[in-house]
Amino acid sequence: MRQLRKLAVAVLLSFLAAVASTGHGKASDTSLEATISALASAKLKDRGNHIEALAATGDAQVVPFLEALAAGDVYFKKSDKTVFITRKAEGGLQLLDPLSLEEGEVVGSRSLKKVKVNNKLRRLVRGAVAGLTVQSHDAGTRLEAANALYKSQDLEALPLLKAAVAAETDETVKDAQERAIAAITLKNVKASEAERLEALGKFKAQGDQEALALVSSFLPQAKTAAESEAAALAIQSIEKSLAMWDAVENVWYGLSLGSVLLLAAIGLAITFGVMGVINMAHGEMVMLGAYTTFVVQEVIRKSFPGFFEFSLLFALPLAFLVAGGVGLAMERGIIRFLYGRPLETLLATWGVSLILQQAVRTIFGPTNKEVGNPDWMSGAFEIGGLALTANRLWILVFALVVFVVLLMVLKRTHFGLQMRAVTQNRRMAASMGIRTPWVDARTFALGSGIAGMAGVALSQISNVSPNLGQTYIIDSFMVVVFGGVGNLWGTLVGAMTLGVANKFLEPYAGAVLAKILVLVFIILFIQKKPRGLFALKGRAVDL
Amino acid sequence: MFQHSKKVASAALFGLMASAVMTTASHAEETIKVGILHSLSGTMAISETTLKDVMLMLIEEQNKKGGLLGKQLEPVVVDPASDWPLFAEKARELLEVHEVAAVFGNWTSVSRKSVLPVFEELNGILFYPVQYEGEESQRNVFYTGAAPNQQAIPAVDYLLENEEVERWVLAGTDYVYPRTTNKILEAYLKAKGVADEDILINYTPFGHSDWQTIVSDIKAFGTAGKKTAVVSTINGDANVPFYKELANQGISAEDIPVVAFSVGEEELAGLDTEPLVGHLAAWNYFQSVDTEINAEFIETWKAFIGDEDRVTNDPMEAHYIGFNMWVKAVEKAGTTDVDTVIDEIIGVAVPNLSGGYSAMMPNHHITKPVLIGEIQEDGQFDIVAETDGLVAGDAWSDFLPESAKLISDWRKPFSCGNFNVETGQCGGSATN
């Protein structure tokens, strides 16, 4: 009797095995299709099971479908519920077969319904795709898969990863795979103590925030005393190294904020600092620069999409001309009648700033405009524990370049000489045959133009809206007054000091209080040194 | 030939006369004035200009249908220029000089607080279309935006259930709406068993543009080995640099999702949305709501504004609901008299754009569905969750000890906006 039962079980098992193996063979297409269409018609909550079922087939054919699903490119027809991968095409969406990727007809989007996914499903898909591509032919894909598994820590992928790491030849991919194995080992209850200790050692050496997250989530699950001790030690050591990098990070953030302040203020250092004009419309010059960038990008997007990466380079000179031109018109039209009358200048330029804002609002609309980041302006790279974001780095570089160029213009060119002569002693300069009114106009245009160029840079990190200028005007005046009126070096040091001070205060005091404290500090500082950090000395001061 | 042209001439003459008669008739005929109190300049113009336009559209549509009580509606637009005291002055101008029957307006809470005394003194009607912090119920104001229990709490529930979030960052701009909302959320999370050290609260100034430190703090906070999410009450312009910084520091929605209460289709229009895919927003309406009535609304809006790229958003729907409620209440009352309309509007139900009916509650808030959407690359939202039924707006939050005991009911003879069930007394007609 017992034998008979055994036999029956064996027969049943072999039958099952046969079914399973045919599932991998030719018949798989139909079963895959069935799962795919079941996935599409399932509720959002139940789609996870179907994704797992697709991943469990181990069939690399489903990878494009899963990737399209995560990207939100999978739709089904409202009429007959057939599922397609779609691609944008003229007049609607191009349908592709989900498995064979054969191109079908182009239909309007109204007859289709999207197969929605949420973050949870996207994570699941990411893990599933990684499991399927971990042994792909392409090293880049393998690296991506290993990194995704490091994040998803999918237990089932462990044997796959181990097989992959044994066959791996590329060093970076191998590193990533070993890291993923270590992360999964910490999650794996079946792993031996030795394996776990090795994994902990690996993360201790890695010493970044992700390692900290992994180790601290492991700590409560530690099984032996040795494990929990090793985990605690690892956490301690990682936290120590993070604390050190924290200080470095604060300096970097401070310098980066300082570079933004410098950019915003450097034009003002000319118009207010050198010429003494309280220009409330300075912020609007920055805004005009940002809108110039927007217009340039629109034109490039429409007519020369290939040049998008260079859009900022085209925008820079144009922004200089636009803002400089407006500045010139302002000086000739209004400000030249008001020299020596600071209060009237203040009110008049404030009025101009309102006019410019409302004009932009009328022309471009009150909503934010989208200014895209070229690829070289986005993303981040790491130096040790410090993540440098590309846009901030480029802005810092750009601010310093503008500063140096401006310094050169003032010190080394004929125009710079005239400018300094006029600001230091106007009547003497006039007697020497310098046309002082024109020097004034050109100086003002130069300051405004630089503000416009700052707008191009700031459009990369800020909103492009008619209010853009107001965000920066107070800060700009703060920097110029603190650094010392009439001195470019003062502006540089002032901007960087304020930036770093702000960023060191922020973690302790919060962003709101940090700003207040900095303002209070400047007020007290001005009481003590009314002329700022780098005061101009000599007779020029009294003019 | 001659005869023919004579005919034409007489027809033309007749037409001319008819139109002359008609214009004099419409001059003689009184119009009903509707006030629109939205900033068209200054910092809030970015959001409020759209609401002014949608009101003009709704009024135009109503006039096409024959107006109200046989009269044409006449919009009176004023510009309070994002200046809070000016809101009070302009509200006074609308009520005293133009004698409008109802006012639709305001965006920020501080501007609403500024006009409240005016509406109370001059007995006007204000429809307020924006989500707000609650803790208010005033006789002259109808709150068609979401109260915290119609937006914030369902959003947190979604994250608890679907993302299994255990650590929370409550990030907001430093003013009354985020502060109150975060106070409510903090109490709610603690009631759900979230520990103190798992909640990080952070405030930033208006228009904050340098998010490096805060984003890296959030990143560090997320390394405790527990799933972390950000609940954002960051307002207005500060959102763009915030999301840009998140993307730059490599935080994706799959790692740390951000659910926002002030980011809608309109805000996303100014943003490179690619790095934002998967971040969440909670509203009572999304443009992507798939209903006939919504498709019609979007079509009308695009035609009215003459721009195919313009989007619709939640506060626009709130005005749509509020305006239709007012129209219905006036029709029911047969007059635009303020006191009668205030009494009649309670219980009035009108279709909302997500396929149901919204009703005006006795506490002057309305019933709405709550939708959770994920940002898509095209700047639209995919709706990933929806409350089962409609949620009734709760003026006084149940999660704050001082307001849990207050109820509001403006039906006669009770007529009280802040009745204290413990002391059995009405706290007075004023707010708070």
Nearest to B272 among A123, A126, A372 (CB): A372
B275's tokens: 């790095």
Mutate to test the interface with A, among B46, B49, B292 (most CBs of A within 10 A): B46
Distance of residue B231 Cα from the nearest chain A Cα, in angstroms:
16
**Which residues of chain A, if any, have pLDDT below 70?**
1-29, 536-543
Phi, psi of B289 (to 5 degrees): -55, 130
Q: Are residues A279 and A403 in the same domain?
A: yes
Nearest CA in chain B to A459: B241
For residue A374, the 8-state DSSP code is P
Q: Is A319:A330 a contact under the CB 8 Å cutoff?
A: no
Residue A3 lies in a domain: no
Q: What tokens appear for B148 in the block?
A: 């915290």
Judgement on whether residues A345 and A451 belong to the same structural domain of the protein: yes
Is residue A99 one of the residues assigned to a domain?
A: yes
> Could you tell me the CATH number of the domain that includes residue B202?
3.40.50.2300
B187 within a domain of the structure (yes/no): yes
| Joined tokens for residue B193 | 């068993």
Mutate to test the interface with B, among A467, A470, A508, A518 (most CBs of B within 10 A): A467
Q: How many angstroms separate the CA atoms of A103 and A100, rounded?
A: 9
Task: Identify whether B279 is part of a domain.
Answer: no
Domain stops at, among A223, A253, A288: A223
Sheet holding B406-409, edge to edge: B406-409, B416-420, B425-426
* Statement to judge: residues A373 and A470 lie in one domain: yes
Residues A195 and A269 in one domain: no
The CA-based angle B55-B56-B59, given to 5 degrees, is 85
- Torsion angles phi and psi, residue A381, rounded to 5: -135, 160
- A461 → closest Cβ in B42, B209, B222: B209
- Report if residue B211 sits inside a domain: yes
Range of the domain at B215: 152-260
How much is the ipTM here?
A: 0.77
pLDDT of B270 reads: 67
DSSP A27: T
Is residue A325 packed enough to be buried (19+ CB in 10 Å), middle (13-18) or exposed (0-12)? middle
User: For helices A390-412 and A436-458, what crossing angle results, to 10°?
Assistant: 170
Q: Which of A257, A368, A380 is the closest to B248 by Cβ? A: A380
A131-147 per-position pLDDT tens digit: 888 888 888 888 888 88
Quick one: A513 and A397 in the same domain?
yes
Q: What are phi and psi of A346, to 5 degrees?
A: -55, -50
CATH number, position A521: 1.10.3470
Q: Based on the domain organization, do A439 and A473 belong to the same domain?
A: yes
In this structure, are residues A50 and A83 in contact, taking their beta carbons and an 8 Å threshold?
Answer: no
A83 and A142 in a single domain? The answer is no
Q: What is the number of domains present in chain B?
A: 1
Residues B234/B262, Cβ–Cβ less than 8 Å = yes
Angle between helices A209-218 and A193-206 (to 10 degrees): 150
Instruction: Give B385's contacts in chain A (Cβ within 8 Å).
Output: 44
Counting every residue written for chain B, the total comes to 432
Residue stretches of chain B with pLDDT short of 50: 1-2, 13, 15-28, 429-432
Q: Bridge partners of B78?
A: B37
Q: Which domain holds residue A211?
A: 134-223
A488 to A279, A317, A494, B250: CA distances (angstroms): 17, 22, 10, 36
Whether B140 contacts B313, CB under 8 Å: no
Residue of A nearest to B253 (CA): A119
In terms of C-beta density within 10 A (0-12 exposed, 13-18 middle, 19 or more buried), how is residue A384 classed? exposed
Cα-based distances in Å from A495 to A435, A443, B421: 33, 22, 57
| Contact across the interface for B202 and A216, Cβ inside 8 Å | no
Q: Which two tokens stand for residue B261?
A: 């209460």
CA–CA separation, A506 vs B205, rounded Å? 12
Residues A111 and A142 in one domain: no
Q: How many CB atoms lie within 10 A of CB B203?
A: 21
Predicted confidence at residue A12, as pLDDT, reads: 52
Residues of B with Cβ-Cβ distance to A463 under 8 angstroms? 237, 240-241, 270
Count up the domains in chain A and report the number.
Answer: 3
Look at residue A194 and tell me if it is in a domain: yes
Residue A112 domain flag: yes
Write down the pTM of the prediction: 0.81
Is the residue at B326 inside a domain? no
> Are A419 and A367 part of one and the same domain?
yes
- Beta-carbon separation of A72 and B248 below 8 A: no
Amino acid at B82: S
Compute, in degrees rounded to 10, the torsion defined by CA atoms A431, A435, A436, A439.
-140
**Same domain? A102 vs A219:** no
